[in-house]
Each structure stands twice: as structure tokens, then as C-alpha cells.
Amino acid sequence: MGKKKVMILSSVHAYDDPRVFHKEAVSLAQAGYEVELHAVAEFEQKEEQGVKIVGVKRLSRWKRLYNGWVLYKRALASGADIFHFHDPELLPWGVCIQRRTGKPVIYDSHEDLPQQIHTKPWIPRWMRPLVSSIVKVIEKGLAKRLAAVITVKDDFNVKFTSKGAKEVVTVKNYPLFTPLTEQQEDKSVNRILYVGGVSYLRGYREMIEMMEYIPEEYQAELHIIGPLQHIKQEDQNQEALKEKNIFIHGRVSFEQVKEWYKKGKVGLTCLHPIDNYRESLPIKLFEYMSMGLPQVATNFPQWQEILESNQCGYVVDPLKPEQIAEKVVEILKDPEHFQLMSRQARKTYEEKYNWQMEEKHLFALYQRLLQDDSRKEHTR
């Protein structure tokens, strides 16, 4: 028997998305599957790390609905044994693919979508509760028709299992394993990092204001790295920010992010206390750990348990820049304390929070679905 073919689809995510490509697609290819990834790219086709990548055009929010039709037609012509898609807007197409091909289709749900609707600035505030309720019904109704749903957090499983989803599996979005030799670079500069989407609700203004409370003797630098989302024009004055040792880098490549982690000394995850973030487990929490970075994060109970029980970070009220600064200084002022927290961060990552532990759940799901499909073939 030849290799089983997997088709991974996304109309929204870039082809080199860390979860979609670097984790799931590459892991499946290394496990012996023939993997074809269709995702947003500026090229038509190429192969990378054993994965065949076929580009999808980047379109505006409403125009990209057309990409669903494009991916549907490609799926029917692919001859794949299993399909795996990553965007809620592809749910109707996923149901159609499974119905037409008879092959298992997986929905990979990255976030609590109905809750996330409440933070969408392009939806009028008064409409968000209604839109959220409608999306909740549609998502659950379509997902239960698929072979399986993958979530990133155990707490998210209930919303699918309670509505009759056939199988729901958690595959947490922990970082790829990073050899210890790649972890460290020059740490003599007190670089404070934030990596991720940059927006008001993710605390960029409080991070900028935080720098006013860090004593000059530390010569600290703040590096904000990630795509800018609804940033006020006055907060993008690069020259004025540089005078305060604040640098906004915008979106950078996956490899560049790794280089910044090596240079950093403290990581920040000071998201605002809204419901959508309260139940989340952002990847940056664990990426900071993987690179031995002590961190300061929002005082959500779950985050507090993870960081403080493992002695690798502090939690604060994210709306109080002086509190953020106080804990950053706590990390920077004592080299021995910094080294202890750094070692604890790395140890915690190695023992609990790395991708190699999670990919096993992905492989097991694929094996079950393909075995079930094989049994159905024999009985037809």
C-alpha cells in the first residue's frame, strides 16, 4: 500500500503559519503521510520539508469566500484519503467535501469563535451578541456532521461534544522543540519582548507606557513584534518611540521570531481582561518558556497557576503599566534570580509544554479515522 494522502486547507492562514505548516503539516509528512497544503501564498506551488504547498490568493474579508469554492474544487480533484481544514468559514465546504468524497474531514478550531466575535472591531458593537449566537448555532450544527473536530484547549471540547460531534480531540498549540544550543544568545542587553498580534486589547498602549516606569539605569529596550491591528496613528511614530527605546517591528517571518527570542530577556503577555482571552492559552506563553525567558502576564487564574507554580513568571493587572514595570524590574535586577527563572522556564517547557507531546494526539486521531474509513470500504 502507498502512502495515505492528506489535504490540509486554509483560505485565511498563510502557508507558513506555525500551527498549520510548521507543526501539523510537517509532523504528518515526517510520520509518513503524503501531505498537500493549500493555503495563502504568493506563489503557485512548491515543496518544503516534505510538504507540497499549493498557493491560494490572499483576498479581502468578503472576497475570500470565493476561496472556499476554489478549495472545494481542488479537494474533489485531489484523491486525498483525509481532509483537514482550519477556518470556520470553510465549515459548509468541509461538510460538502465529506459528503461528496466519502472521506473523513477534520475541522481544526483554533479559538472559541462565538466568544471571539465580541472582539471584532469590524462588527458593530450592538450586533455582536446576535452574530455570536448565530455563529454558535451554525458552527456546532455543521461540525457534528464531520468526522472529527480538533481544538486547542480541553475547555473548548464541551461546546462540540454537547452538540453531538462524532469525535473531539485536543491538540494544544505548544511550541516546536528547540534544542538548548539554539536557546541563548547575548543577554547583556535588557530586551523586553512582546510577540503576537499588536492591538489595543492585547495591551500595546500599556506596554509602551510601562517603559516610563522602568529606571534608566536598566537601559531597557521594548521590542513589539507582530502584525499591527487597528493601531492609532500617533502610536506609530517610530522616531519618537525610538527615543524611549521602544521599537515596533510589525510582522516578521517565523525564523526572525526565533532570532528575537534568542535576544530577549523578558517576555510580555499582558492581554486585557476580556472573556475571549480569559480562557485562552496563547502560544507566546510557551514560546517564551521554550527560549528560557521569564515572563510577565495577565493575572488570569489559569495563567497564574502555570507561571507561578513553575516559578518562571509573574502575573499583574494588565491595565496598570506601573505593575508591569515593577515585575519586569524584579526579573532584571538580580542576575541570579533571572538565571533561576530562566532555567525553570526551559525545564517546564521540556517536561510539559512542547509540540512533540501534542503531535501524538494528532497521529492517533488520523490512525483512528483512516482505520474506520478502511473498514467502511470493505463493507461497501
pLDDT band with cut points at 50, 70 and 90 for residue 31:
very high
**114 and 133 in contact (C-beta within 8 Å)?**
yes
Residue with cell 503539516: 25
pLDDT band with cut points at 50, 70 and 90 for residue 180:
low
Nearest to 311 by CA among 338, 287, 333: 338
Euclidean distance between CA atoms 233 and 332, whole angstroms: 31
Q: Do residues 304 and 195 both lie within one domain? A: yes
Q: Do residues 284 and 340 both lie within one domain? A: yes
Euclidean distance between CA atoms 21 and 145, whole angstroms: 25
Instruction: Name the percent of the chain lying above pLDDT 70.
Output: 91
pLDDT in tens, 117-139: 666 666 778 778 777 777 677 77
Euclidean distance between CA atoms 348 and 285, whole angstroms: 11
Average pLDDT, the chain: 89
Q: Do residues 169 and 58 both lie within one domain? A: yes
pLDDT, position 186: 61
pLDDT band with cut points at 50, 70 and 90 for residue 153:
confident
Domain range for 206 is 180-352
Greater model confidence, 185 or 125: 125
Q: Do residues 278 and 359 both lie within one domain? A: no
Greater model confidence, 158 or 99: 99
Q: Do residues 313 and 169 both lie within one domain? A: no
Strand partners, 47: 52
pLDDT, position 181: 59
Residue ranges of alpha helices (H) inside 211-297 are 238-242, 254-263, 275-278, 283-290
pLDDT band with cut points at 50, 70 and 90 for residue 161:
confident
pLDDT at 1 over 60: no
Calculated CA dihedral for residues 130, 13, 154, 193, nearest 10 degrees: -100
Lowest-confidence pick of 100-104, 175-179, 206-210, 338-342 = 175-179
pLDDT, position 267: 97
pLDDT in tens, 192-227: 999 998 999 999 999 999 999 999 999 999 999 998
pLDDT at 363 over 90: yes
Mean pLDDT, rounded, for 71-82: 97
CATH number of residue 241's parent domain: 3.40.50.2000
Q: Do residues 342 and 359 both lie within one domain? A: no
Lowest-confidence pick of 8-12, 66-70, 112-116, 307-311 = 112-116
pLDDT band with cut points at 50, 70 and 90 for residue 69:
very high
Euclidean distance between CA atoms 106 and 91, whole angstroms: 10
pLDDT band with cut points at 50, 70 and 90 for residue 300:
very high
Greater model confidence, 159 or 131: 159
pLDDT, position 270: 96
Query: Which range among 63-67, 165-169, 229-233, 285-289 has the greatest average pLDDT?
Result: 285-289
Instruction: Name the percent of the chain lying above pLDDT 90.
Output: 66
Mean pLDDT, rounded, for 165-173: 91
Q: Do residues 164 and 193 both lie within one domain? A: no
pLDDT band with cut points at 50, 70 and 90 for residue 44:
very high
Cell numbers that stand for 149 in this block:
473536530
Q: Do residues 185 and 328 both lie within one domain? A: yes
Q: 333: phi > 0 → left, psi -120 to 50 → alpha, else beta; which?
A: alpha
pLDDT, position 163: 65
Q: Do residues 85 and 226 both lie within one domain? A: no
**21 and 40 in contact (C-beta within 8 Å)?**
no
Mean pLDDT, rounded, for 134-153: 86
pLDDT band with cut points at 50, 70 and 90 for residue 183:
low
**233 and 203 in contact (C-beta within 8 Å)?**
no
Sheet holding 295-298, edge to edge: 246-250, 221-225, 191-195, 266-269, 295-298, 313-316
Q: Do residues 211 and 244 both lie within one domain? A: yes
Euclidean distance between CA atoms 184 and 299, whole angstroms: 28
Per the structure, how many domains does the chain have? Answer: 2
Strand partners, 37: 8, 53
pLDDT, position 185: 60
Greater model confidence, 165 or 321: 321
pLDDT, position 118: 64
Q: Amino acid letter at 70?
A: V
pLDDT, position 236: 64
- Overall pTM > 0.85: no
pLDDT, position 137: 75
Q: Do residues 288 and 368 both lie within one domain? A: no
Euclidean distance between CA atoms 97 and 112, whole angstroms: 24
Q: Do residues 161 and 308 both lie within one domain? A: no
pLDDT, position 123: 74
